[in-house]
Amino acid sequence: MISGVYKPTNGRVIFDGEDITGLPPHEVAKRQLSRTFQLTAVFREFTVLRNLLAAYHLFSKAGFWNSVLNTSLSKKEEEQFMENAMETLQFFGIEDLKNEIAKNLPYGHQRVMSLGMALILKPKLLMLDEPVSGMNPQETKNMMDRIRETRDKKGVTVFLVEHNMKAVMGISDRVTVLNFGKKIAEGTPQEIKANPAVIEAYLGVEDYVA
């Protein structure tokens, strides 16, 4: 609902002081709010670099004819987009894969690339839908490191949904716990670990050993 895929039946979505309720996804993205998906969403036949460049179509000011005619405005934009894309690849340590076809990459690298596609929009808010889903322990650690760097070095607010508790507790400043669609707890990771309602809902009282 925040990203514009679904329209809420009640309530409003306020982002950065603006009511964005019901805006289509491309308009939401223009407001520097980007996301990744639970299932890796990339252009499988594109190279890694071209996947990142594709995200820039929202921000191009050159227009169709400037691109066709290869005007100075179009060239300047292309140079800037290329520079930013390479900077993003370097940030994630995958610049040597820029010419690889996306479908040929290992799963973990595809997930990192999708994070790069979202980050290249220079978002104020980055939403991650189960970013470590399906990853092995090493891939999970690498992704957690990338998310921390995105938050700490890029200054991006990260809002994630994740079932891997080790990842949640290792990344988050604050955690909100839902049980059957209702919020049962909110606080720091330490507070959540000790919350009786969370322990009962997710671990079971009789089975839990502190």
**pLDDT: is 62 or 95 the higher one?**
95
Query: By C-alpha distance, which of 10, 6, 14 is closest to 31?
Result: 14
Question: Residue 79 pLDDT > 70, yes or no?
Answer: yes
Average of per-residue pLDDT across 66-71: 55
Question: Residue 53 pLDDT > 60, yes or no?
Answer: yes
Question: Residue 162 pLDDT > 70, yes or no?
Answer: yes
pLDDT at 159: 95
**pLDDT: is 136 or 59 the higher one?**
136
**CA gap 59, 111 in Å, rounded:** 23
- Does the domain at 32-173 match CATH 3.40.50.300? Answer given as yes
The DSSP 8-state label assigned to residue 209 in this structure reads -
pLDDT at 84: 87
Work out the mean pLDDT of the chain and round it to a whole number.
Answer: 85
pLDDT at 28: 92
Average of per-residue pLDDT across 110-129: 90
Is the Cα torsion angle 87, 56, 96, 113 positive or negative in sign?
positive
pLDDT at 187: 95
In the structure, what pLDDT confidence band is assigned to residue 65 with cuts at 50, 70 and 90? very low
The DSSP 8-state label assigned to residue 132 in this structure reads T
Claim: this prediction has a pTM higher than 0.85: no
Average of per-residue pLDDT across 69-81: 71
Question: Residue 21 pLDDT > 90, yes or no?
Answer: yes
Question: Residue 67 pLDDT > 70, yes or no?
Answer: no
What are 125's strand-pairing partners? 33, 157
Question: Residue 126 pLDDT > 90, yes or no?
Answer: yes
* Domain-wise residue ranges, the chain: 32-173
If 0-12 CB within 10 Å is exposed, 13-18 middle and 19+ buried, where does residue 209 land? Answer: exposed
Question: Residue 89 pLDDT > 50, yes or no?
Answer: yes
Structure tokens at 142: 């690498």
Question: Residue 17 pLDDT > 90, yes or no?
Answer: yes
Percent of the chain surpassing pLDDT 90: 40
pLDDT at 175: 95
